[in-house]
Structure 1
Amino acid sequence: MSAIAQKYQMSVVSGGRPVLPRGGKSVCTVTHDGQALVVPFSNQLRVYSLETRQCIKTVKFANSAVLSQIFPAARVADIVMGDATGAVTGPAAEKLLTLFTDLGHAIVLNYKGKLTETPAVHAIPVDTKLGERVEKVFVSGESLRVLIAGANDYKLAQLAFNTDKVVLTEPVVFPGAMLTAWSGDEQVFAALCRDPAAGNQKQVRVQSVHSSAISTAIPLEKVIPNATTAPNTSSKNARFVSALAIDNSGTQLALGFASGVITIVNVADLQSRLLKWHIDAVLALAFTDDGAYLLSGGWEKVMLFWQLASNTQQFLPRLNGIVVDIQPRGKYYTLALQLAENESSADYQIVVLNAADLTSRVQISGPMPVFNDQTRSAAQPVSALKSNTQINISKKKHRRKLVKATRQDFTTIIEQNPQTKQLYIPHMSALQTFDFYKNEQSALQFMTDGMNNAMGKVRDELNIRDPEIKNIKVTRDGNWLVSYEVEYPPEDLMSSGDLCHVLKFWTRQEDQSQWTLRTKVLNPHGKGTPITNIMVAPVSVANGGAGCITADNNGGMKYWAFDTAEKNWCLKKLLIPNFTNYSNSVSLAWSRDGSLIFHGFDDKLQIIDFDNFKQVSVPGSPDDSDVSMPGEFTVDSEIQAVKLVGEKNLVIATKTTLSVIDLLLGKITRGFDLYPYVNGMYKNSHLDRLISCDEKNEKLALVINEQVADTADYKAHILVFNGDLSKVLDRFTHDEYISWIGWNHDTDFIFVDIQSRFGVVGTTVNTEMVDDSNREDVMEGILDGAAAAAETSGETAHSSSESYLEKLRELSRKKNGVANTTVANGAAANGTQDEDAMDIEQEIIAGNHKDDHGINMNSFSNMFENIQNVPMETLFDSVMKALS
C-alpha cells in the first residue's frame, strides 16, 4: 500500500524540556558506575554518557501505559539509583532506579532495559487536595526520609515501604518554611521559616536528616548585614534571602540575598562574614564536599569559587544562561542555567563540568521555541534590578490571569531544512538548530549583535533589549537562510520608537554547523517599515530556489535573489505599495512553476504575475472563455493564511472562514465556518503557523486549539483534509496547546506544543522515534554474554565466540521449529546438534537460510516509503524486524 493511501497516525515522539522542580533545583543523578547522568525531561528520562557526551538511553513515558497515566499530570521530584523500596538488592539493583513524583508516586524502573515490563508503582500518602507535594527523598543506607511541602509548612518524615502499604512516621514539621536547602551528602537540612511563636519572625533551622545530632534555630535578624547596627537603613533587598546552602558537617551556613551579598554564618557561635561580588540577586549556592569552597551564581552568568580560608575568588564566566542551581557531585559540578531572555516560557540548560579543570562534559537542553504570549510555565528568577520582575512573584496570580484570558496566542515560528530535516528555532537573538530524529540540540548560534552574545547583563543593562529574530526561512535547496530581525534603541529617549529592521542572508557549507552571514540589508522596505512576511522561491525560480519575496505592512513587495555575477544577494524586482491603509495581516503563496504570486493583504487577495510583478487577470473556465476572473478578490474579513494545494486549489483562511478557490473556475468552491473556534484567538497572520500543506500528496493539516473551561489548560484538534477540502481524511486530539505545525517535505506533518514536545501526524512510523533508543543496551547484552561465558570456561576469547554462536543458535531455533523441538526434547546427541546448528549458522551468514515466513519482493516495501528521513541504524532495525 502506498504512503498516500495509508491511514494517518499521531504520536508524540521527541522534544520536551529538562525538569527543574523545587524552585529551579536540578534533580539529575549520576549512575552507580559514575559514567552516566540521568536527566528527567517533562515527557521522558534520558541517560547521557559523561565520556562520549551522547544520549545512550531514552525512556519515554508515553511508551508505558502506567507511566502515561502518571505523566504529565505529575512531575519528577527526585531520582534515587537502585530500588529504594528494598524489593530488589545486590547487583540486580544496579539496573534499577526509583522515580519519585511530586504527587507521591514511587516508580521502580529498569532504566537499562526496554519498557516491556510493567513498572512497580507505590503510593506515598500525601494529601494533594491540601496542596502537599513531595519535594525530596533522602537516602542513608536503608533509611529513607521524605521532604513534603505543604500549603503553609514543610515536614520531614521517615519513609517505609511495607508489603501492603507505604508508611510515613516521625514527622519533623517546619512551620512557615519558605526556602529549603540540604548538604551535598544529603545528611543536613536547612530551612528558612517564619516562627509563629515569635510573631512570625524569620529564622533559619538547621536539622540532621537521619538523626537528632544537629538541631538548631538561628534568628535571621542576627545574620542580616547591618540589621543589628543600623536596622532602619537596611533595604528590602538586603533582607530578602534568595538562596541558601549548608555544608556537609552542618557547621557553615551560607545565605544569599537579593542585594547580591552572601553571608557565611558559623552555626556554633553565629559569627558571620560577608562576601561581596554579585550586583543582583544570588540565585545558587553550594559548598564543596570538604567545605573549603563556596560556589555561587546568579544573573551575571558567572560561577564564582570562593576560597573560604583566604576570601579569594575564582571565576567561570560567559555561561549561556543565568545560574539558578549548582550541585557538586563528586568529580563533577552540575549547573542548571536558565535562558531568561525568553520570557514566554522557562528554558533550562543542564551543564556538567569536570571539577578538576572545569571543562564541559555535557550540555543538555530541549527545544526552546519562543511563544507569542507567556505560557503557564513562564517563571523569571528573582531580580532586584530587572524592571519586569518582582521579588515576590506569584505563580497563582499568573495562572488566574491565564484562566480569565480567553484570547491567548501561544503560537511560535519554526522552520525545517528540506534537505537535512533539521529544525531551526529562533530564540530571541539566537538560532537553535534541533535534530528532530536524534532529539537533541545540534547548535545554538547568535545571529544578532547584542550584549548577551558576549557577556551577561548587569544593573541597568538588564532593561536593554537585544535585537530579536522575528522570522526565518530556508531555501528549497537548504543552502541559504533568510532572517529578519528588529533592533531596539535604548528606552527613555526621543528615538526610542525608531526601530531598525534588518534583513540578513546566510549561507552554510555541508561540513559546517554554523551559518555564515553573506548579505545584510538595513531597513529593506524603508525606514521604520517592518517586514510582515517572507516567502522563499520554488525550485523552478532563481537557479534552484535561491530567491525570496519580502512583504511589508502597506502592500509593498520586493524580490531578492542571489546574483552569481555579484556573488551577493541583490534586489531584483519590487512592487510599490498601493494601499492607503496599513495592516499586519499579510500572507504569501507561490505557484510551483513560479509564474504567479498570491498576495493576501488585509481582506484582499491579489494575483501577481512574477515576470512583470504586476496584478493580472486569469482566464475563466473553458465553457465561458469570454469571462475572465479578476486578479483581486475581496473576502469577508482579514486574511490570515494563503496556501496553494496542488496546481489549482488555493486555500484562504480568514478570521471567520476557511475557503477554497478553484483557480481554473475562478470562484470559491467550498468553505467552512471557523468563527466559533478561532475568533480572536490568534494575532494577525499567526493562524498561518497552524496550517500546513503537504505539497507532494496535496493534503492540508489544520490545528484548532481549545481552552478547557475554567482552567489554564488547553487541548488541540488536528484535522487532515484532502486537496479541495471536500473530505476530512483524519482527525486527532492532543492533550496540550499546539503552537506550530509544518510539513516535513515528505509524507508527515510535525507539530510542537507549549511544553516543547514534538509530535508527528503521518503515514510512516519511525521505530527510532516511537521506541526507546537503547544504544547502551545493545553493547551491554554483548558484553554480558561474553562475561558470562568467560566465567564458565575461563577463556575470554573463546567464551566470546561461544556467546556469539549461542545467539545464532537461538535465532536458528526460532526460525526452525524442528531444530527447536529436537533441542527441547534432548533427542539429538551433542555432536549432531552442534553440526546442525553450525550448518544453519553458515546458511544464515551466507544469506541462504529460508524459514516459514518466506521473503518475497513485498517484504521490505513499507520501509522504503520514508527512506529519506530514516537514519542507517533505523533502517537496519527495520530490516531485522522484517526478517524476524
Structure 2
Amino acid sequence: MVQSVVHQKYKLGVVSGGKVVFPRAENRSCSGKTVTLLTHDQTAVIVPFNNQLKVYSLETRQCVKTLKYANNEQLTKLFLAQGSAQVSHIALGDVTRQDSAEETKEREVSVFSSCGHVAVLNYKGRLVEEPKILNLGANFQPGETVIKVFQDPEHNELKVLTSLQESSASYTYRLFDYRRSEQALVECQTFQHVLLSAWSANDRYLCVLVRDLNSKRNLHIQPLFSESDNEVQTFPLPSTTSASTTSTNSHFATSMALDNDCSQLAIGFASGVINLINLQDKSSRLLKWHIDSVLSLCFTSDSSYLLSGGWEKVLSFWQLSTNLQQFLPRLSGVVVDCSVINDKFYSLGLQVTDNHTNSDYQLLLLNSTDLNSRVSVSGPLCVYQTPVKDVVFPVSAVSSRSSASSSDMNKSTKKQQRKLLKRKRQDFSSCLEIQPNTKHLYFPHTSAIQAYDFYKNEQVSYQYLASGVNNSMGKVRSELNLKDPIIADVKFTKDGKWMISYEIEYPPDNLLSSNDLSHTLKFWRMSENGQWVLETKVLSPHGVKAPVSSILVAPRSVNNSQGCLTADNNGGIKYWSFDETTNNWRLSKVGIPNNNHFSNSVELAWSFDGSLIFHAFDDKITVLDFNAFKKFHEGSEKAFNELTMDSAVQSIMLVNDSNLIVATQTTLNSVNLLLGQVESSFDMFPYVNGIYKNGHLARMMSCDEKNGRVALVINQQALDKNKLPTLNHTSHVLIFNADLSQRLGNFEHDEYISCIRWNHDTDFIFLDIKNRLGAVSTTTSPEMLDEVDRDAVMDQLSPNQFESELQKLTTSHRSDGRKADEVEDVDEDSVFEFINGERSQKVINMNSFTSMFENIENAQMDTLFDRVLKVIS
C-alpha cells in the first residue's frame, strides 16, 4: 500500500467549467449587459467566461478554442485573483497600435478589463508567449470601472467610457480619449448623476439619462466622434402616463436603445410600456405588450425593427412602420439583453431566475434570417444552499425572491455586504452526482437537471424532471412568488441504467397549508436517444409530510445494484428494488420508524456484499442486517451493532469493507469494524460546527471505491489585514488513505469548494462557487495538462532535441521489458514524463482501442490523438 502511494501522487487543477460573463449586469445604469465578438472571418464567436475565453464555431456549434487565464501568470493576476477584473470589451486586432494591420485582426484580439488594463492575445495560438498588457487605468478613481470601449475604424480612434457609483441608483460617467503615442487615456467629458445609458450599435452615439439638481430627469444624446453631423441634444424625459398617476413603475426607466442614425430612441419602463421617441421632432408613441419590466431593447441596423425582451421569456419584434408584432417564444430564460451583431445575428442574454442562489446566465446567438439558434453558451448551472455573493436579479414591477423591485434599487451595496458578513451559516454547498457510464456531471437545477461533460467542457442536455409554471411559460408580476418544484437530490445505480430523483413540491404562499410540502420519489430509465424516461413515481414515499433525508444506491451484489435505500427524519428506512417480472420499481422492505424522536442528521452506508447496513440517526450509528432488515444480532450483548458518537453524525462512508469513516459536527473518525472501536480521529470543530446544514458535509467528502482513498474538503473564510472576516473564501482538499492514518495529499484552492465527487475512475471532481470545475487526480491526463498548456513542453525543444528525446523513448525498453543500460539514468522529472508514464511495457492487442469508440461522435483530431496516447502510454 505504501509503495503505491509513492508512485501515485495527486495533483490539483481547475480545468473546466466557469460562468458566462455578463460584465455590465451589476451596473444597473447600463442597458447592454453582454460582450461578444465575431471573428475576422465571421465563422466563430468569442465569448468571455470568468476563467477563460472560449471560441465557438457557428457551423458546428461547438467550442473550437479555449484560452484559459490560468495558463498565463499575468492573466491569472488580472482576471482570477481575489477582487479581480472582468472582461468589459473585446476588439479585433491590436487596437493599441497606431498601424492596425489587417493581418493582426485574423489572429489577435484586444481584451479590455474593467479595471483599465488591455491585453492583446493571439486567439488562434497558445498562451505560451507573454501577452502584451497595458495599464490604461492609472488615473482611475477607486471603484471606477470600464464599461464600454468605442471604436472608429475609419479614423482609427478609440474612446473609453467608465463609471463610478455615486449612490445606489446613480453613477458618474467619464469619457476618455486614447492617445496611442502616449499609450494613455485623456479625459474629455464627464456626466454626473447618470441613471441609465445606451449607445448605438455602430459605436457612434451615446445617450445618458441624468438627474439634475432639481431631481428632474433629462436625456442627453451626443455623437462620440467629431465627424458626425448630428449635434448634441438635451431634453426632458417624456412621460408615459398622465400627471395623476402615482405609480413609480410607470416613471422608472429600466432600459434604453438608440438606433445607428440617431433618429429614434426607445425607452422601456418597469410598467412594461415602451416609449418610442422620434429625435427629429421629439414626437413619441407608446408600444404596449409587456406586462412586466422591459429588460432589453435594441434596433436593427436599418431602424425598421425594434427588439424587446423581458420576464415573459419572449423576444418581441416590433415593425415600426406598421406597428405589427412578431414573437419568438419559449426561450429558456428571462431576456436581460439583446443586440444585433453584424446584421447577421441576434445575440440574446438570458438569465434563469428560478435559482435564487446564483446568477445563471446563458448566451444565445440566433440567425437573423430564420431565427434558428446558431450557438448556445452556458456553463455548469449550480444551485447552492445559500446565495453566493454578487448575485444580481432583473428588475420587476413586483418584489420577489426572483427579482429586484424599483425600491430595492435604493438599497446600499455596503449594507448588503454587511448583512452577508453577519450571516453565521456560510453553507454554499451544492448537489453534484456523476453518472458511472458516461462520466457526465449532473446538476439538479430547480425543476430540471443539467448533464455536463467535464472533458469537453460543455452542456450535454437540460431536461425538466418536474412540471411547473416555469417549464411552459415565463413568470410575470405576482406569478414570480409561485415556487416551482425543486429537485433536491439525484442518484445513479452502479450500472448507470437508472436515475433516482427526489422532488419537493411547494404549495402557494399565504395559505393555511403553505407549510405542507409534498415529497416525490421518481425512478428514471435511460432511453436510446439519451433522455431519461420516467418509469415509476412514488408520492409521499415515507408518508404524508415526511421528507426523504437520505438516499443510498445498492451495491452491485444486491439485485445488480437496481435498488436503493431511503431514510426519513423519524428513523424509518425503506428498501426499493426493480422487479423484472412487473417491469417496475416496488417497495421491498420497511424499517419501523421511531415516532418519538426527529432528527435531520440521517446518513446511510452499505457493505459491499450487501449483508449489512449502517444507519446513522442523530448521534447513533446502528448496524442492521439487510436480509432480516433489523438490528444485527439483536439481543446479543457481545455483537457490535451500535455506536454512539460525540455529536450528531454528518456523513458516513464504508471504506474497503473494514473501516467506517464517520464525520460529526466536531470530529472526523475512522472506526475499525473488526475491533469495534475508533482508530484515528481529527478535530474539525472550527470548520464544520454550525456552518453546514445537517447532511451537507457529505457533499464535502468522497471515497475512491477502487483503492479506498478518502477526499475531504475544508473551507475557510478569508480574513483581511485586521483579522476580520471577509466575503472571500479559501479551501483545502485533503486526501487520506482508507483508515485515515496517512495523509496522501494537501492542496489549496483559492475559492470555496461546494462539492467533491469520485468520477468512478481515478479522479476526484470538485465544484467551486464560481462554477469552475477541477480535478484532484493521480493520472497525468491530457485534461489536467491542458491547465499548464500541453503544447508548452514541445515549445522548449528544437527539432534536433525532439528527435533525440524521441529516440530515447523508443529505445528505453528492450524486447524483454528491461531497461537498456544507456538510458537507465533518464530523469523521471523530465519534461517527457507524461508521455511514457510509468515506463511500463504494455501489451497491445485487438481490444486495446475498443474504449476509444464509445463516444467518438464530433471528436476533434487532437482529442482522438489524446485517446490513443492514453492507451499506449
**1:155 is aligned to 2:174:** yes
Alpha-carbon contact 1:3-1:763 (below 8 Å) kept: no
Q: Hey, what does 1:178 align to over in structure 2?
A: 195
Alignment of 1:134-213 (within 5 A): 134-141=146-153, 142-152=156-166, 153-162=172-181, 165-196=182-213, 199-211=214-226, 213=229
| Aligned AA (1:523) | S
Equivalent residue for 2:607, pick from 572, 591, 599: 591
| Aligned AA (1:270) | K
How far is the alpha carbon of 1:200 from its aligned partner? 3.4
Equivalent residue for 1:716, pick from 731, 740, 750: 731
> Which runs of 5 or more structure 1 residues have no equivalent in the other structure?
620-625, 778-809, 818-848
Q: Hey, what does 1:688 align to over in structure 2?
A: 698
Q: Hey, what does 2:827 align to over in structure 1?
A: none
Alpha carbons of structure 1 residues 256 and 21: separation in structure 2 relative to 1, 3 Å? same
Deviations 1:50-90 (A, max 9, x none): 11111100001111111111112111111011111116623
Secondary structure of 2:24's partner? Answer: helix
State how far apart, in whole Å, the 2-side matches of 1:296 and 1:612 are.
Answer: 64
Alignment of 1:323-362 (within 5 A): 323-329=335-341, 330-362=343-375
Alpha-carbon contact 1:432-1:444 (below 8 Å) kept: yes
Alpha-carbon contact 1:124-1:166 (below 8 Å) kept: yes
State how far apart, in whole Å, the 1-side matches of 2:497 and 2:642 are.
Answer: 34
Alpha-carbon contact 1:4-1:697 (below 8 Å) kept: no
Alpha-carbon contact 2:115-2:137 (below 8 Å) kept: no
State how far apart, in whole Å, the 2-side matches of 1:65 and 1:530 are.
Answer: 48
Alignment of 1:840-855 (within 5 A): 854=811
**1:112 is aligned to 2:145:** no
State how far apart, in whole Å, the 1-side matches of 2:298 and 2:767 are.
Answer: 36
Alignment of 1:267-666 (within 5 A): 267-329=279-341, 330-388=343-401, 389-391=404-406, 392-393=408-409, 394=411, 395-509=413-527, 511-542=528-559, 544-578=560-594, 580-617=596-633, 628-666=638-676
Query: Which stretch of the first structure deviates more once superposed, 461-470 or 122-131?
Result: 122-131
Secondary structure of 1:444's partner? Answer: strand
State how far apart, in whole Å, the 2-side matches of 1:550 and 1:100 are.
Answer: 52
How far is the alpha carbon of 1:151 from its aligned partner? 2.9
Deviations 1:757-804 (A, max 9, x none): 0011111132235427999x9xxxxxxxxxxxxxxxxxxxxxxxxxxx
Query: Which stretch of the first structure deviates more once superposed, 353-362 or 391-400?
Result: 391-400
Alpha-carbon contact 1:629-1:666 (below 8 Å) kept: no
Equivalent residue for 1:77, pick from 78, 81, 88: 88
Q: How much is the aligned-residue C-alpha RMSD, in angstroms?
A: 2.7
State how far apart, in whole Å, the 1-side matches of 2:267 and 2:222 are.
Answer: 16
| Aligned AA (1:35) | T
Alpha-carbon contact 1:423-1:436 (below 8 Å) kept: yes
How far is the alpha carbon of 1:235 from its aligned partner? 1.1
Q: Which structure has greater helix proportion? A: 1
Alpha carbons of structure 1 residues 120 and 655: separation in structure 2 relative to 1, 3 Å? same
| Aligned AA (1:85) | T
How far is the alpha carbon of 1:268 from its aligned partner? 2.5
| Aligned AA (1:535) | L
How far is the alpha carbon of 1:279 from its aligned partner? 0.4
Secondary structure of 1:379's partner? Answer: coil
**1:7 is aligned to 2:20:** no
Q: Hey, what does 1:801 align to over in structure 2?
A: none
Alpha-carbon contact 2:618-2:648 (below 8 Å) kept: yes
How far is the alpha carbon of 1:177 from its aligned partner? 1.2
Alpha-carbon contact 1:426-1:432 (below 8 Å) kept: yes
Alpha carbons of structure 1 residues 224 and 686: separation in structure 2 relative to 1, 3 Å? same
Alpha-carbon contact 1:860-1:879 (below 8 Å) kept: no
Equivalent residue for 2:714, pick from 690, 695, 704: 704
Alpha-carbon contact 1:751-1:760 (below 8 Å) kept: yes
**1:742 is aligned to 2:757:** yes
State how far apart, in whole Å, the 1-side matches of 2:447 and 2:740 are.
Answer: 39
Alpha-carbon contact 1:158-1:171 (below 8 Å) kept: yes
Deviations 1:123-166 (A, max 9, x none): 0125555211011111112100001112331011111233xx53
Alpha carbons of structure 1 residues 470 and 128: separation in structure 2 relative to 1, 3 Å? farther
How far is the alpha carbon of 1:719 from its aligned partner? 1.0
Alpha carbons of structure 1 residues 412 and 882: separation in structure 2 relative to 1, 3 Å? closer
State how far apart, in whole Å, the 2-side matches of 1:628 and 1:166 are.
Answer: 82
Alpha carbons of structure 1 residues 17 and 210: separation in structure 2 relative to 1, 3 Å? same
Alpha-carbon contact 1:57-1:772 (below 8 Å) kept: no
Alpha carbons of structure 1 residues 689 and 325: separation in structure 2 relative to 1, 3 Å? same
Q: Hey, what does 1:21 align to over in structure 2?
A: 23
State how far apart, in whole Å, the 1-side matches of 2:871 and 2:804 are.
Answer: 16
Question: What is the percent sequence identity of the aligned residues?
Answer: 48
Alpha-carbon contact 1:161-1:167 (below 8 Å) kept: yes
Secondary structure of 1:237's partner? Answer: coil
| Aligned AA (1:250) | C
Alpha-carbon contact 1:863-1:878 (below 8 Å) kept: no
Alignment of 1:766-805 (within 5 A): 766-771=781-786
Alpha carbons of structure 1 residues 302 and 774: separation in structure 2 relative to 1, 3 Å? farther
Alpha-carbon contact 1:301-1:322 (below 8 Å) kept: yes
Deviations 1:166-207 (A, max 9, x none): 3222521111112221111111111111223xx232112111
State how far apart, in whole Å, the 1-side matches of 2:268 and 2:521 are.
Answer: 44
Equivalent residue for 1:876, pick from 861, 865, 869: 865
Alpha carbons of structure 1 residues 636 and 774: separation in structure 2 relative to 1, 3 Å? closer
| Aligned AA (1:854) | T
Secondary structure of 2:106's partner? Answer: helix
Alpha-carbon contact 1:114-1:772 (below 8 Å) kept: no
Deviations 1:421-476 (A, max 9, x none): 00110000000000011000000000001111111122322211111101100110
State how far apart, in whole Å, the 1-side matches of 2:46 and 2:112 are.
Answer: 14
Provide the aligned length of Structure 1 versus Structure 2.
805
Q: Hey, what does 2:258 align to over in structure 1?
A: 246
| Aligned AA (1:343) | H
Deviations 1:559-602 (A, max 9, x none): 00110001000111110102511111111111111111111111
Secondary structure of 1:10's partner? Answer: strand
Secondary structure of 2:783's partner? Answer: helix
Deviations 1:654-676 (A, max 9, x none): 11111111100011111111112
Q: Hey, what does 1:788 align to over in structure 2?
A: none
Query: Which stretch of the first structure deviates more once superposed, 16-25 or 355-364?
Result: 16-25
Secondary structure of 1:335's partner? Answer: strand
Query: Which stretch of the first structure deviates more once superposed, 497-506 or 626-635?
Result: 626-635
State how far apart, in whole Å, the 2-side matches of 1:744 and 1:82 are.
Answer: 41
| Aligned AA (2:52) | Q
Secondary structure of 1:461's partner? Answer: helix
Alpha-carbon contact 2:108-2:122 (below 8 Å) kept: yes
How far is the alpha carbon of 1:715 from its aligned partner? 0.6
Secondary structure of 1:460's partner? Answer: helix
State how far apart, in whole Å, the 2-side matches of 1:259 and 1:316 are.
Answer: 21
| Aligned AA (1:92) | T
Alpha-carbon contact 1:103-1:126 (below 8 Å) kept: no
Deviations 1:16-62 (A, max 9, x none): 01000112711011111111000000000000001111110000111
State how far apart, in whole Å, the 2-side matches of 1:25 and 1:423 are.
Answer: 29
Q: Hey, what does 2:822 align to over in structure 1?
A: none
State how far apart, in whole Å, the 1-side matches of 2:511 and 2:484 are.
Answer: 16
